[in-house]
Structure 1
């Protein structure tokens, strides 16, 4: 395969707005088709106004073009080298890297991996209960070991008395592998299960990723746990990671510091403020500032007095900061005696999830990403008065009520509350949850509040490097979409609506407190203007669970703008939806739960909720390895529909020829998303062929893509078997779950002109008058309704551009614009102020809002602007003229 000149191909990335260069980070680069060979290496240059220097880095390929050339890569370097990097592919022999800094080394032994990362050395044991041990900084031990802790609450009732028993479990490592190793970082992946030695039960599998960097005191952790318990019996009481650290020196030189709303909470194990004997104020002042006190009792009377006082005061050995809601945390402490109580030290709103313990030998810091957002969480320090202390990061803290995985009702409400079916299909078996946290080690004995804040900020808002939106748009990253333009009055109006829509939802996350371990990242489905709240308690109207792809809306909104606040919200959505809303193992593996009061509550288990396309953005832009696991979980999602047929209540299985059913959209289109991702990640033609089989089946049908859209399907051969022109659920389901974006991107990857024609003709057919549809189909479509036409506007716009059809372009804009506006109402996503409602003094409310509408309207605007921008009215007067006289039923807010 002939490649373009590799020496002139490069990609320049800049630090995202509102982020700081704290340390090592990983970013993604996209390359033109045919430009970079799979055998290429990469140089990373730090760029500023005066110099352009090569920096230590490592790279890996994350996706390939169909011709085998490199499509996406991930690169790791220290962000402190600069706010702009340039990545340049080079020949395999990279002589310019000979004089770079020493590399990180890993030695594999029979029972462990030994890491030499310069200033930090560490051991990762194999097949033990310890996930990390013997961590030293310049030869001094700062962590002796780390392990996993779990508490499950068992409930029973005897003689009318509720009995709650907490059963402890420990994490048992079953496998350890190196996922990435290079000159500047190594990532270990540890897999295992929590085990109770009391009853030898194994439950809640876990995946832990540990990343150690060259000459960095910071170690990153990615913690994933998966639920395989019985939701009626297993109540999650506590789940955490525990670190042990040696403690040395006097009690008055042992410090603890928690990050808080403002500044930090800082105390010592023995506080040198004494009534009698009276300690010199300057000694206590120095202690409260975090200074180590080297007191000489033989030569200093004040020092002798302080030492004597320290022997007769309480020694605080245990502290816990518990974030029990999105708006409250508390700090408590106690002495070592188990028969003594805790006392309260502080209450606040939102803690950053950071803690530091320090003594005469150095300090240990821990900080968690999204700590308060994913409450109830805690950081706890114990045995601070002993030779070996422990610090626990509680993902779910034992200080609060145990997590209840049961469903909210004992039946389904398919009609009244829009749940899937009347049977209860709630199951948490197979869901997951992922959390990120880091530790930072130092031999410096000074406890510094500013240093803890910098570290906490680096975990909560790590550096992210991205290219300019125009670069991604030119490369057609994640398909075809439009850049913002403000040239005309109507363009400005549309961009304003897109911004208003996002800003409203961003604000709603805070106003409605859409936070919590199993909620953060998701948004609600439908608003209730009478209660001035979302329909949080009404079946299928509660959590969105990726329905109608708000993921694609948010990620494309970021791609075209580069806004950090959009990235933050999209990142949280991908992290939540890729874990909690889908099944990672079991009979439902690869499927997700449709929208419901509980994320896993709906009886509809659908491929569309779990498809890879929701999260490709996050994976390729950041190189996140956990998302790679998720892609593996969903790549064969079509196998799950054999036992969970999406149309199982509409067909008699005994009369079927194939094992199951799949609608061309959203089922098969979601499979295509999964297969496309597997194909590009590994250049695996097995999954390309699965896509091609379905496309060829559609090509052979009477109406091609417009046929169906219900088919019999067998995952053994991937064929779509035609069963006539009927639909169960509406034709809009064929286009509103991401199929438009998936199919257009696949068409470009395959270079299949006939498939592109089929997409175009289906977009056109959707907007034909009914009599014309019957005429062109020779009556085949019968009574099939092409409902909610604004959801097909992206595909219609594609068809208008490909077919050079001005009527279709104008019709597309009429339908799409009329969904939000009329000739006398162009207020769009305008929030109105109401008073003393929704527990707010002033509530900014859009009473008609639904996430289905918002995500689809915004996504289709972004798509339509790519294809038919020139047909968009230029002025608001032209827009109102275009909409004049249209049936008001097309107006969403009517």
Structure 2
């Protein structure tokens, strides 16, 4: 199977990674369920219809959202929707409308129209919409299948926890199954890694741990105790070895050299590996995983630039011990991908659980404090300034989080300033397109991307929960 293009990361047109490795589905899989219903007599058509309906809409034991919120699940910086202030109410309405739009994509009508079904495709969503052709960019490089980019699955699970919506639960379940089976490699040279977004689910040349992340499977596992998801979570530990063969920055000549077994970015690479170890530790209480996690936390806490260390947050990494090494390059490239694949939510939860590495906790709070900070503040703290890389609206959640941890209302207000400037809906105004512009009447959101829908919603959820008192009146 050839690549879509011949230019790696052609962000202007195709947005994909080409070659090294070539497309290879070895190690992916797909599960299916068979249900056997036993009757003591020949069932009536009505009985068979009822059984079929139950199998399609499988009953699931869940709790009220307020129960989940009271236990601060999965980082705890989210809340049950509160519409007491006009600004918060407007955001909640936009978020609900956005969920309705994406849920419709998985409904029978939209699935048939968009062809998002089949053994390999079911459960996934596309990355970017093409308002000119009135279709999702199913045929354009990395703009096609989303493969969980920027935390699509986490967005859906957080949305379920906040609202208790059954339709969101079922969509999140289908997406998580797809990501953990089709978009992730369980054996072979890519074991423990997943494939970045592409026309085919396994086609992109970027094989990264973040796609197969255990932390992004945890909501499904702990809400359902699904044993298959539990087994697939265990396979993510294989990434420790695979990331040596497929070093994440091997195609970036500007990145500083390293003498350690491999090189990783603090985020999203180390945050993913650390999440895999954390998940294994909480399921087994095996101390070796906790110690490996703490080893990296102590190293990061000792770096002069903390989580801003390295070119694009790249550090040397020993995959056996978990040690990281500062290889320089801080402030010379972007940090915008560091904490938006679920890494931010994981680290907020991590420091609430692992409380005996204060140097890491300090560095983590400072990352949220200074990512959106003006250059003068960065110079005062670190002795130099840099461009963090944009995505300010996505990092507003960590700005608010730093405000919470430091008791600093100015940081919370600054986070709301960023959110308000970005806009409430950020792609939630649905319009109808009729014949002859399309073959069949369809609903669309112009310029919508699943990236924006997921990552910005997660940021808004956190800011709403952390600083509700500063929501616009």
**Match for residue 188 of structure 2?**
586
Cα 1:478–1:605 change in 2 (3 A) is same
Select which of 263, 273, 288 maps to 1:671: 273
For residues 860 and 548 of structure 1, do their structure 2 counterparts lie closer, same or farther at Cα, with a shift above 3 Å needed? same
CA-CA distance at 1:804 after TM superposition: 2.0
* 1:866 Cα deviation from its structure 2 partner: 1.7
Q: Which residue of 2 aligns with 1:498?
A: 95
> 1:752-797 deviations in whole A, cap 9, x for unaligned?
4543333222111011112432342112x5x443321112111111
8 A contact 2:426–2:452 mirrored in 1: no
Shift of 1:832: 1.9
**Counterpart in the other structure of 2:381:** 776
Q: Which residue in 2 is equivalent to 1:657? A: 259
- 1:113: which partner in 2? none
Shift of 1:408: 5.8
What displacement does 1:411 show? 3.9
- Where relative contact order (Cα < 8 A, 6+ residues apart) is larger, the structure is 2
Deviation at 1:501, TM superposition (A): 1.1
Question: By how many angstroms is 1:541 displaced?
Answer: 0.8
The alpha-carbon deviation at position 469 of structure 1 amounts to 0.9
Match 1:636 to one of 238, 243, 266: 238
For residue 758 of structure 1, the aligned residue among 344, 357, 363 is 363
Does the alignment pair 1:454 with 2:53? Answer: no
Does the Cα contact within 8 Å between 2:298 and 2:359 map onto a contact in 1? no
2:64 to 430, 454, 468: 468
Question: Does residue 1:832 correspond to 2:431, yes or no?
Answer: yes
Flag the 1:786–1:410 CA change in 2: closer, same or farther, 3 A.
closer
Distance 1:631 1:578, change over 3 A: same
Asked if structure 2 preserves the Cα contact closer than 8 Å seen for 1:591 and 1:634, the reply is yes
8 Å contact kept, 1:514–1:520? yes
- Please tell me whether the aligned partners of residues 549 and 856 of structure 1 are also in contact (alpha carbons under 8 angstroms): yes
Output the CA distance in 2 between the equivalents of 1:702 and 1:827: 36
Question: Is 1:860 equivalent to 2:459 in the alignment?
Answer: yes
Q: Which runs of 5+ in 1 are unaligned?
A: 1-405, 875-894
Note if contact 1:521-1:569 (Cα within 8 Å) is conserved in structure 2.
yes
Look at both structures and tell me which one has the larger radius of gyration over its CA atoms.
Answer: 1
**1:420 is matched with which residue?**
17
Trace 1:654-733 onto structure 2 (pairs within 5 A). 656-708=258-310, 709-726=313-330, 730-733=334-337
Q: What SS class does the counterpart of residue 712 from structure 1 fall into?
A: strand
Q: What does 1:526-605 correspond to in 2, within 5 Å? A: 526-605=128-207
Contact kept? 1:413, 1:539, Cα under 8 Å: no
- Contact 1:712-1:720 at 8 Å conserved across structures: yes
Give the Å deviation of 1:642: 0.7
* Contact preservation (8 Å) 2:151, 2:455: yes
Alignment check: 8 A CA contact 1:437 1:459 kept: no
TM-score by length of 1: 0.50
The two structures, once aligned, show a CA RMSD in angstroms of 2.1
The alignment's TM-score, normalised by the length of structure 2, stands at 0.93
Shift in Å at residue 424 of structure 1?
5.8
Structure 2 partner of 1:767: 372
8 A contact 1:764–1:800 mirrored in 2: yes
What's 1:786 paired with? 389
Match of 2:79 in 1: 482
Which residue in 1 is equivalent to 2:342?
738
Q: CA deviation at 1:829?
A: 1.2
Question: Residues 653 and 867 from structure 1, CA distance in 2 versus in 1: closer, same or farther, beyond 3 angstroms?
Answer: closer
Report the Cα offset of residue 827 of structure 1. Answer: 8.3
Aligned length: 462
CA distance in 1, matches of 2:255, 2:426: 50
Going from structure 1 to structure 2, the CA distance change for 1:835 and 1:870 (only over 3 Å counts) comes to same
Q: Distance in 1 between matches of 2:378 and 2:308?
A: 11
Corresponding residue SS for 2:201: coil
The answer to whether the aligner puts 1:815 opposite 2:418 as a matched pair is yes
In 1: Cα distance, 2:294 partner to 2:257 partner = 27
Q: Which has the higher helix share?
A: 2
**Aligned equivalent of 1:353:** none
Taking the aligned partners of 1:674 and 1:500, their CA distance within structure 2 comes to 33
Mapping of residues 116-515 of structure 1, within 5 Å: 406-407=1-2, 409=4, 411=6, 413-415=8-10, 416-421=13-18, 425-444=22-41, 446-480=42-76, 481-509=78-106, 510=110, 511-515=113-117
1:798 aligns with 2:401: yes
Contact 2:5 2:18 (8 Å CA) reproduced: no
TM-superposed CA distance for 1:672, in Å, is 1.4
Q: Supply the distance in 2 between the matched residues of 1:409 and 1:534 (Cα, whole angstroms).
A: 16
2: CA distance, partners of 1:421 / 1:809:
41
Distance 1:685 1:801, change over 3 A: same
Q: Distance in 2 between matches of 1:673 and 1:486?
A: 33
Distance 1:756 1:598, change over 3 A: same
Structure 2 unaligned runs (5+)?
none
Q: Map Cα deviations across residues 300-352 of structure 1 (whole Å, 9 max, x no partner).
A: xxxxxxxxxxxxxxxxxxxxxxxxxxxxxxxxxxxxxxxxxxxxxxxxxxxxx
